[in-house]
Amino acid sequence: MSELISGKAIGTSINDELRKEVEQLKSNGIEPCLAVVLVGKDPASEVYVRNKKRNMRRDRHTFYRTRLTSFHDSGRFGKSHTEPQ
């Protein structure tokens, strides 16, 4: 037997729970942020990260993004060059 589920309802429930957890962290002096490293130029990844950035801005959270042209650029991680987006 199968069960019909609503992805939108499940997503809303998860986001509501996450907002509660973030508020709890903030009340304890912890400011959550999201840091993303994009490697290469995959269009699907670009869309995914753009949507994450939009959601973080909407909720007034800090978002960091670093872009590497290839995996071989990973030596850059040792330097502090990532700025909030």
Residue 40 φ then ψ, to 5°: 80, -160
Whether 45 maps to a domain, the answer reads yes
- In total, how many domains does the chain have? 1
What is the CB neighbour count within 10 angstroms for residue 14?
10
Please report, as a single letter, which amino acid is at residue 59: D
> Is 1 a domain residue?
no
Calpha distance 10→33 (Å, rounded):
23
Parent domain of 40: 7-78
The answer to whether residue 83 sits within a structural domain is no
Per-residue pLDDT of the chain (85 residues; tens, 9 = 90+): 898 899 999 999 998 998 899 999 999 999 989 999 988 888 999 999 999 999 889 888 899 999 887 766 555 554 444 556 6
